[in-house]
Amino acid sequence: MAWNQPGGGGKDPWKSKGSNNPVDDFLSKLKDQLGLGSPNASGASGWLKKGLALLALLLVFNCFKLIDERERGVVLRFGKFDRIMTPGANVKMPWPIESVIVVNATQVQTVEETVNVLTKDENIVDIKFNAQYTISDPRLYLFGYRDDIVASGGQQGSETVRQAAESAVREVVGNNTMDAALFERGQLSVVAKDHLQKSLDMYKTGIKVSQFNLPDARFPDEVSDAFNEALSAQQQKESITNAAKAYASKIVPEARGTASRIKAEAAGYREASIAKATGDSTRFRLLADQYRKAPEVTRKRLYLETMQDVLSKNQKVVSGGNNILYLPVNGQSQPSANPAVNPPAQVIAPAAAVRDSARADTRQSREGGN
């Protein structure tokens, strides 16, 4: 006959004579001591014992607190901070002696806002920021400061983070130009994150900023047209500047080369002039010595050399007795009939006659000297 049918003798195959479960043994002993399992327990004393047993169970279970891996427990003893519970099973004194406030320490919370900022070069830019943060110190997070938004049912810390982030963005962007706010937001995000973390640490918020970004920056709608024109002018200016730099890069080396060549030519001309002047001065001294020794001969020789130099560069006719010999000069084969074109020919004595005259003068000067 089955155990759960009438006449089965009340035998339960799942119930053994001796239990190995310590919890069941403890509850059975507690019932026996309080008289809850006795059929004679009745009346006021029975209800009192039941109440005391229930209270004892509540106190026993209230002394244990299980904390999740993502959470931290802040223990208050008579309303004053006592300690931090770590993840796992923790023991505490029963309420109202100790109470526990559970805080999610690993949850990433986000604050987003668009801020109207005045840049260093007096331009207005709308910058959007995104701040992500976690709880680093549960005690400071709960008791280090007070967030006004909590009174209206908001998240603790969100309003403080938002205000501190706005202040950091205004400070960082306000110290930079409009171009940096539009095209260098990555660097500005790093600096703004440092400023934000310092502000939160100063306020004792117990919050750690994990990410801070400036995803968007644009002009206000009221002045977008004017800023677009300004940007176009700025781009045109940069284009002209780049073209001028390219032209300068091409011209400057050429100018430097020309200057170097002119300097070299000037230096050569200087050396040549100095050498020529030195040679002329030496020649003049030698002529002066010769003139002191034979003045007449020196004068005659200088005259002949001068005439030779002058006549060699001009048209001339050489006459020897009755014969006149025309010597073409500068590519002309015959003298022109126009006297205005061809100046009067110069007639000089033959070279032999000149030499004889010079020799006679030399002999006379020597005889006169003797």
Question: DSSP string of 187-220?
Answer: HHHHHHHHHHHHHHHHTT--EEEEEEEEEEEE--
Residue at 164: amino acid letter: A
Closest to 102 in 3D by CA, of 118, 86, 114: 86
User: Counting every residue, how long is the chain?
Assistant: 370
State how far the Cα of 73 lies from the Cα of 346, in Å rounded to an integer.
130
pLDDT, residue 344, reads 46
State how far the Cα of 76 lies from the Cα of 280, in Å rounded to an integer.
114
Main-chain phi, psi angles of 65, to 5 degrees: -140, 125
pLDDT, residue 158, reads 83
pLDDT, residue 352, reads 47
CATH dotted code for 109-218: 3.30.479.30
The mean pLDDT values, 10 residues at a time, for the chain of 370 residues are 52 51 62 56 60 71 80 85 83 81 86 90 89 90 71 66 92 89 89 93 90 88 76 87 90 90 92 91 86 86 83 65 53 47 45 52 53
| Residue 74 DSSP one-character state | E
CA-CA distances (angstroms) from residue 363 to 79, 295, 299, 300? 145, 13, 15, 13
C-beta of residue 348 within 8 angstroms of C-beta of residue 311: yes
pLDDT, residue 366, reads 53
Q: Taking the CA atoms of the chain, what radius of gyration do you get in angstroms?
A: 60
